[in-house]
Amino acid sequence: MKIAVIGSGYVGLVSGTCFAETGNQVLCVDNNQEKITAMQAGKIPIYEPELETLFQRNRAANRLHFSSDLAEAVAFAELIFLALPTPELEDGGADLSYVLQVSKEIAALATEYKIIVNKSTVPVGTTRQVQELFDTSCAASVDVVANPEFLKEGFAVQDFMKPQRVVIGSSSEHAIAQLQKLYAPYMRTGNRYQIMDCVSAELTKYASNAFLATKISFMNEIANYCELVGANVDHVRQGMGSDDRIGNRFLFPGIGYGGSCFPKDVKALKKLGDDLEQPFTILSAVDRVNTEQKKVFTAKIEAHFKGALQGKKFALWGLSFKPGTDDVREAPAFYVIETLLKQGASFTVFDPVAIENTRKHFGNRIHYANEPNEALQNADALIVCTEWNLFRNLDIPLFKSSMREPLIFDGRNVFDLQEMEAVGISYFSIGRP
């Protein structure tokens, strides 16, 4: 099949590359010329495990192409995917301007039948709105389909190649059949399509993300309570998770969720409820707990130093909002750094893949290490903000000889409590005594 993907970011580039991997001809479009030029030259603009191999293989096989010209994409493909940003507006709603603007441009260009498949996370009613836009302003017949994306950064290629479900929201039999044909190679172990109306498809995406965010905020509150009563959240988590109605995944407390999805999607769903005077009461709390959790963690550091942070030197490990990605959007580490910088602290930071994106934000306000132990030199404390596996085996003698003080603030419960105690490291984690 001939496919165009408009928006070549985390979702668009992974989708386009994985579609090419199953033999399709794919044209990835972006209005960021720098990104397109880099990809045309074989340079991949994001870090995502396994993506580089697939990207290079399909580029070399002439199945994966890049362009900044939307007209080229419209002429080339019958199936046009939208993987465009839907960032947060000031009132918490989702900004639809990217999706609507590109749709208008496609409507002006299309002269024959197209299927517009929207992968962006969009408010309930958007697919209908975009369908209406095409029905009233396009010379050709167009089917607009909601096909929300559920991939996780850090596992995006795996998630795309073996999806747990593919949600298709449409009433067009032809469009549904075309998408089922396209996704068939990823469904070889069994049919995992969820075919539904477009409104339900749009809501499925928001409801899924909001539920996952709720699990995280719930566990963060449980962890904070554990600290007050001397309970250990690891035991509580395992005790809870062994009930298969609860399940043991996504029950890890930390310093709050970040990234480009949960924070904005929770707020967008809340706004959708408010607009219809059907408030999502739970989501207000989920969002509030998440904002507070970053402060709870930072306050532990401030309290330890009795607020005297001027001149304190911190090593910080983990900058991306979660392991496996270079995405630093809404990364809790950034909150910690900004807050302590303002009080006169300094930072040397390390992350396996997110240094470049961090540098774009902080520039020379902080120092960057090439490997984790380099960041530790003469530090007053180590702060862990992302649970990269690389951090799990601490070289204790080296740690102790590098640091001014053997002190760790662990926002992700990376280290073993007993071990820390046995080797004499002062250790503050989340929800553990």
Ligand X SMILES: NC(=O)c1ccc[n+]([C@@H]2O[C@H](COP(=O)([O-])OP(=O)(O)OC[C@H]3O[C@@H](n4cnc5c(N)ncnc54)[C@H](O)[C@@H]3O)[C@@H](O)[C@H]2O)c1
In the complex, the smallest distance separating the C-beta of residue 430 from ligand X, rounded to whole angstroms, is: 24
Task: Decide if residue 402 touches ligand X (CB under 6 A).
Answer: no
In this structure, which amino acid lies at residue 191?
N
Both tokens of 196, joined, read 């539904």
Task: Decide if residue 198 touches ligand X (CB under 6 A).
Answer: no
Identified catalytic residue from 18, 138, 261, 385: 261
Task: Decide if residue 153 touches ligand X (CB under 6 A).
Answer: yes
Decide if 351 contacts 419 (C-beta within 8 A).
Answer: no
Q: Which is nearer to ligand X, 10 or 347 (CB)?
A: 10
Q: Which of 3, 4, 5, 11 binds ligand X (CB under 6 A)?
A: 11
Interface characters, 12-41, with ligand X (x: CB under 6 A): x----------------xxxx--x------
77-85, 171-179, 338-346, 364-372 -> range binding ligand X (CB under 6 A): 77-85
In the complex, the smallest distance separating the C-beta of residue 304 from ligand X, rounded to whole angstroms, is: 34
The span from the CA of 424 to the CA of 410, in Å, is 15
The span from the CA of 307 to the CA of 299, in Å, is 9
Decide if 388 contacts 351 (C-beta within 8 A).
Answer: yes
The span from the CA of 88 to the CA of 71, in Å, is 28
- Per the DSSP assignment, residues forming a β-bridge with 28 are 5, 66
In this structure, which amino acid lies at residue 112?
E
Binding to ligand X, residues 120-149 (CB under 6 A): 120-121, 149
The span from the CA of 57 to the CA of 51, in Å, is 10
Site for ligand X (CB under 6 A): how many residues?
27
Task: Decide if residue 98 touches ligand X (CB under 6 A).
Answer: yes
Check if 198 is active-site. no
Q: Which of 52, 72, 85, 343 binds ligand X (CB under 6 A)?
A: 85
Both tokens of 171, joined, read 């009433």
Counts for the chain of helices (H) and strands (E), in that order: 17, 14
Q: Which is nearer to ligand X, 193 or 305 (CB)?
A: 193
Task: Decide if residue 298 touches ligand X (CB under 6 A).
Answer: no
Task: Decide if residue 74 touches ligand X (CB under 6 A).
Answer: no
Task: Decide if residue 5 touches ligand X (CB under 6 A).
Answer: no
Task: Decide if residue 260 touches ligand X (CB under 6 A).
Answer: yes
Give the closest residue to 11 by CA, choosing from 177, 148, 129: 148
Give the closest residue to 383 by CA, choosing from 421, 336, 423, 419: 336
Q: Which residues bind ligand X (CB under 6 A)?
A: 6-12, 29-32, 35, 83-86, 98, 101-102, 119-121, 149, 151, 153, 260-261
Q: Looking at the annotation, which residues are catalytic? A: 261
